[in-house]
Structure 1
Amino acid sequence: MDTLLVSPAAAALLAIILVASLVGLKLRPDLLEAGLFRPYWLLPRREYATLISNAFLHADLGHLLFNGITFWAFAFPLERMIGSGKFLALYFFGLLVSDAATWLRHKHDPAYRCLGASGAILAVLFAAIVYVPGASIFILPIPVPIPAPLFAVLYLAYSVWASRRGRGRINHDAHLAGAAAGIVFVAVVDTERLVGLWQYLVH
């Protein structure tokens, strides 16, 4: 309960993501279809709402579980550090940057469509690493903690591989843009943190 009180924005976002995704996956698959981001049709059909809706829905339970664990591990402590206002700004900045990157890459492909909060969550993950580069994450069944920078690199490597394979409706293309957005956000609002990250890495 204390975690929810001190990280209300992260708690609200995670709750919306979980509820909307589970309803779409289990009860209302039409919601997933309606929420898909289709870059080709964004402007012709004015599907502007899908810039936001796609980030609160997921293509399958595995996709939802992985994103949910990553968000839970890094978003809650990050919000406590930077405050709810900056945290929400970071989240939606990462979302819109990743949407823009997806649109630029696929705006000429009428068949492309995608779902997922990964771009925004990668922005949160990489911003959290800048603030606390020594953080780690536990993922069962791995018996040891994974250093956050290593986890982030593995996440991106998987994203590149999955993007090239074109797997399902998951927006792997947004991951690199989201990661960059997280670093850029910190560089703008808290520049000295990047200096701290550099000092941590070189030592």
Structure 2
Amino acid sequence: MPTTLLIILAATCIVSFMAFNNRRLIDDLILWPPAIERKREYYRLVTYGLIHADPMHLLFNMITLFFFGRIMEPIYNSILGAFGFGLFYLGGLIVSILPTYLKNRHNTNYRSLGASGAVSAVLFAFILYSPWTRIYVFFIKVPAIIYAVLYVGYSIYMDRSGQDNVNHSAHLWGAAYGVVFTVLAQPEVVPHFLGAMSQPGM
């Protein structure tokens, strides 16, 4: 029986590929704040995460989700039940985009898409459990905790500068959600993280 992670990966890939050549499908699923504000299309707070700007955007998110999600899914399922990881991921999609929606709810020109916020939640939850694990960043191995610091710093800078069309706010809120949710669901992760941080070689 497929795991929740595999279902999420398959659904996201299928819908994203369908949307690459279907502008109407993108318009129906993308986060467009006025559609939520005026038409009460709240489903967009989730469906925006099923579509991506291009194949590379999709590939990067799905590879990250696969490698860290397969580690985190058993943890959340053991704490919250069979669909624990699915609930965590769904929450990541919603929480990571809410500040963006509230900020732009009257902005008819604003749109956002991609699962990056929820993927950030999964990645930062993993870092709580294994902060010194080496992860690849542009083919360079970096300790996960170092990557987290650089990632947050970069996202804050880019969010404030507004130099690109990437929703860096969703990355930040997704990361924060991943940490807070995990600590609330399993408080013992805090002493585990602190202990791991004191042993960089482990």
Query: Which residue, out of 178, 181, 188, partners 2:177?
Result: 181
Q: 2:88, 2:14 → 1: CA distance?
A: 22
Q: 2:42, 2:183 → 1: CA distance?
A: 28
Aligned to 1:62: 56
Q: 2:171, 2:41 → 1: CA distance?
A: 22
What is the CA distance between 1:161 and its match in structure 2?
A: 4.6
- Whether contact under 8 Å (1:98, 1:175) holds in the other structure is yes
Aligned: 1:22 with 2:17:
yes
Aligned to 1:123: 121
Q: Secondary structure at the match of 2:59?
A: helix
Q: CA RMSD in A?
A: 2.1
Q: 1:30, 1:166 → 2: CA distance?
A: 28
- Whether contact under 8 Å (1:123, 1:180) holds in the other structure is yes
Which segment is superposed worse, 36-45 or 66-75? Answer: 36-45
TM-score by length of 2: 0.85
Change in CA separation of 1:68 and 1:115 when aligned onto 2, cut-off 3 Å: same
Alpha-carbon displacement from aligned partner over 1:54-99 (angstroms, at most 9, x marks no partner): 0111012221122112111200111133324221121111111112
Instruction: Name the count of aligned residue pairs.
Output: 194
Aligned: 1:10 with 2:19:
no
Letter paired with 1:135: T
TM-score by length of 1: 0.85
Q: Secondary structure at the match of 1:137?
A: strand
Query: Which residue, out of 29, 37, 44, partners 1:50?
Result: 44
Percentage of matched positions with identical amino acids: 35
Change in CA separation of 1:30 and 1:115 when aligned onto 2, cut-off 3 Å: same
Alpha-carbon displacement from aligned partner over 1:150-201 (angstroms, at most 9, x marks no partner): 3333433443454433534x43321111111111111111001022112222
Letter paired with 2:118: A
Aligned to 1:167: 164
Structure 1 consecutive aligned stretches of length 4 or more whose deviation exceeds 4 Å? none
Q: Secondary structure at the match of 1:44?
A: helix
- Whether contact under 8 Å (2:135, 2:142) holds in the other structure is yes
- Whether contact under 8 Å (2:132, 2:143) holds in the other structure is yes
Aligned to 1:109: 107
Letter paired with 1:137: I
Which segment is superposed worse, 44-53 or 34-43? Answer: 34-43
Change in CA separation of 1:156 and 1:29 when aligned onto 2, cut-off 3 Å: farther
- Whether contact under 8 Å (1:40, 1:103) holds in the other structure is no
- Whether contact under 8 Å (2:16, 2:52) holds in the other structure is yes
